[in-house]
Copies of this chain bind each other. A is one copy, B any other.
Amino acid sequence: MSISLSLLEITQQLGGSVSGSSATLINRVGSLAFAQHGAISFFSDTKYTTQLHATESSAVIVKPEHASLTNLPKIITDNPYAYFAKLSQLFNPDYVAAVGIHSTAVIDESVQVLVDCSIGPSVVIEANVTLGKNITIGAGCVIERNSVIGDNTKLEANVTIKHGSQIGQNCHLYSGCVIGNDGFGYAEAATSDNQKYWVKIPQIGRVIIHNHVDIGANTTIDRGAIDDTIIEDGVKLDNLVQIAHNCRIGAHTVIAGCVGIAGSAIIGKHCKIGGAAMILGHLSIADNVTISPGSMIMRSIHKSGTYTALMPFQEHEAWLKTAANIRHLSQLTDKMGQLTDKIKVLEEAIEKLTSQR
C-alpha cells in the first residue's frame, strides 16, 4: 500500500497553510537528518537549523516564525510536531488484523464477540467478559472473568487482564502488560510463639482504565485493595512501569519507562513523569507537575512546576571524594558554625584592640 498526497491535499485534511509549491507530492514522513526525496519532516527548534538547511526532505512543517528559514515547500502551522504526528498517522494507518475468531481461541460461551472483532490464536476469554465493537485481541492474551473491554481497543500479543478489570475505548495495551494483578498488601502477624509472618490482605478492588489510554510492554497495574485503581482519559504509560494498588493517575499524564508509583498515590492531570522516577505512596501530586527522570518524590507536591532529585555523575575517583564529603556534610555544617563563632570572637577582639589604641 502506498499513499501519495500533495501539500494542498494534506492541508485540506489537517489544516495549516502551504508556502511554496502546493502540488509537491509527499509519500512518507522522515527526520530532517535522514529523510529523502518524497518525505516531509518537521522543524520546531532553531537548534536544528543546520539540519534544516541540509535536509533532503521534499517539504517541511514549520511554525510561522520559522517560515523564512528555508526555501523548501512548506506547511505552516502553530504546532509542527503535533501536525507531523497526525500526518504520519495518515501515511501509516494502524495495521488492521483480520477480523474473526482464530480456531485455537478459547472463549467462554457467555461472551459475545461482534463480527468486526479480531481474536488471535490461543486467546483465552473467560466467563462474563464484555467486549465492545472493533476490538483486536492479539495472540496469547488472557482476559479473565467479568472484565470489560471498550470499543476500538487493541491488545497486542500476550497481554494479561485479571478478573473484573474495566478497559475503556480506544485504548492500546502492549505485549506483556498485566492489568489488575493483586496489589502488594500484607499485614504482619505473629504466631503464639511470637514468630512473625505476613497475612495477605485480599485485594478486592478493581482496575478502571478510561478512554484513549496506552499501556506499555511489561507494565503492571495492580487492582485496588478495597477501592479501585483508576487511570483516567488519555494517560500514556511507557514500558516496565509499575502502578501500585489504589493509585489514581490524572487525565493526559504521561509516564516514561521504568517508573514506579507506590500505593494510593494520587497523580494530577497533564503531569510528565520522567523515566525511572519513583513516587512514594499515599501522597498527591498537583496537575501540570513535571518530575525529572530518576527522581524520587517522597512528599506531596502542591504546586505545578518541575521537580528534581538527582546526584550529578562524576568520574569515579571524583565521586568517591564527593560521597565521602556527603557522608560528612553534618560535620562540615557544624564546623562552619564553629568558624562563624570564632570569627565573631576575633571581630570583637579586634574592635577592642582598635578602640584601645
Which residues of A pack against B, CB within 8 Å? Answer: 29-31, 34, 79, 81-82, 84-86, 88-89, 91-92, 95, 102, 104, 106, 120-122, 124, 138-140, 142, 144, 156-158, 160, 162-163, 172, 174-176, 178, 181-182, 184-190, 196-202, 204, 212, 214, 216-218, 220, 222, 226-227, 234, 236, 238-240, 242, 244, 252, 254, 256-258, 260, 262, 270, 275-276, 278, 280, 290, 292-299, 305-316, 318-330, 332-333, 335-336, 339-340, 342-343, 346-347, 349-350, 353-354, 356-357
Q: How far is the CA of A11 from the CA of B110 in the complex (A)?
A: 40
Q: Which residues of B have CB within 8 Å of A89?
A: 199-200, 202
CB of A130, distance to nearest CB on chain B (Å): 19
14 CB-based A-B contacts, threshold 8 Å: A29-B226, A30-B226, A82-B188, A84-B201, A85-B200, A92-B202, A142-B158, A160-B175, A220-B239, A238-B244, A257-B260, A311-B326, A326-B326, A332-B336
Q: Which residues of B have CB within 8 Å of A186?
A: 85, 236, 254
Q: Judge whether B257 and A242 touch: CB under 8 Å.
A: yes
Number of copies: 3
Q: Judge whether B200 and A214 touch: CB under 8 Å.
A: yes
Q: How far is the CA of A178 from the CA of B269 in the complex (A)?
A: 29
Q: How far is the CA of A323 from the CA of B313 in the complex (A)?
A: 9
Q: How far is the CA of A325 from the CA of B328 in the complex (A)?
A: 10
Q: How far is the CA of A246 from the CA of B112 in the complex (A)?
A: 41
Taking a contact as CB atoms closer than 8 A, the residue among B122, B185, B201, B346 that contacts A124 in the complex is: B122
Q: How far is the CA of A81 from the CA of B104 in the complex (A)?
A: 46
Q: Judge whether B311 and A262 touch: CB under 8 Å.
A: no
Q: How far is the CA of A240 from the CA of B261 in the complex (A)?
A: 12
Q: Which 3 A-B pairs rank lowest in CB-CB distance, beginning with the nearest?
A: A309-B313, A82-B189, A92-B202
Q: Which residues of B have CB within 8 Å of A260?
A: 240, 257-258, 275-276
Taking a contact as CB atoms closer than 8 A, the residue among B319, B330, B332 that contacts A308 in the complex is: B319
